[in-house]
Amino acid sequence: MRVLVTGAAGSIGRVVTVGLRDRGHDVVGLDRVPSPDGSDFPWHTADCADADAVADVFDAELAQHRLDAVVHLAGHPDEQSLPESLTSHTVTAAALLDAMVTHDVTRFVYASSNHAVGRTPRAGLPDGVLGIDTRPRPDSFYGVAKVATEALMSLYADRYGLDVVALRIGSFLPEPQSVRGLSTWLSHDDGVRMVEAALTTPAPGYAVLYGVSANTRGWWDLAPGHALGYEPLDDAEAWADRVPRGDDDAAEAAYVGGPFALEPMFRPALDRS
């Protein structure tokens, strides 16, 4: 496949672009920053929140090549104000989805987040596991923007027939770094497996999965991922003896969003000054 990867210079993007190329896909990078030294694949430097700039990228690419899919990884990874979060996550997705409709690019894979449901208490989860048929329950403005983007994807799937897959990613790191991470870790290799499954699963329509490895202590349902062909192979348990214990471990386990669900919020939502 020929795939446009946004946020290609970011922590997930660097791993996914290499991984997809290793698996035989052609990758085009898109980021606000120039391509990292040494990268040798096509690259566009533009802000995905700028719909004109995104349209220009699609015009330039589609004039010369086909494009099969977009993997949208760009976005600020932490909490910001509500307008900033919506711009970083939802406005960028809208610009890409509009360009896809214009150019008949039909597959959209999105780095959503566990924080779309992060304020869900873990106590009382059936079998200790949270499924995808649950209420949107963000833990932050970051989570609100992820929920809004998932809703936008649903709209474009229903209205324009796009195939869209929201990856509710846990903790994407080379190795788990905390007790919470023993439940929420997504290994780099599993992350690439997950993105490739979302790109190639036949006709998903609108689909959501939890982007985590096969962690013994996992608290998100892996079945939606299995249904899309995502078979994680790694397990954070291999690090169980090594991750540092912290004073906040018990508190961080209260909600599936961990620290995001506990941190003080930016309020008011809108700056009135």
- Site of interaction with ligand 15L (CB under 6 A): 77-78, 113-115, 169-171, 184, 258
Q: Is 142 a catalytic residue?
A: yes
Yes or no: say if 96 and 33 are a contact pair by the CB < 8 Å rule.
no
Q: Say what angle helices 11-22 and 188-200 make with each other, to 10 degrees.
A: 60
CB 112, min distance to ligand 15L, A: 8
CB 66, min distance to ligand 15L, A: 31
CB 169, min distance to ligand 15L, A: 6
CB 113, min distance to ligand 15L, A: 3
Active-site hit among 110, 142, 210, 230: 142
List active site positions. 142
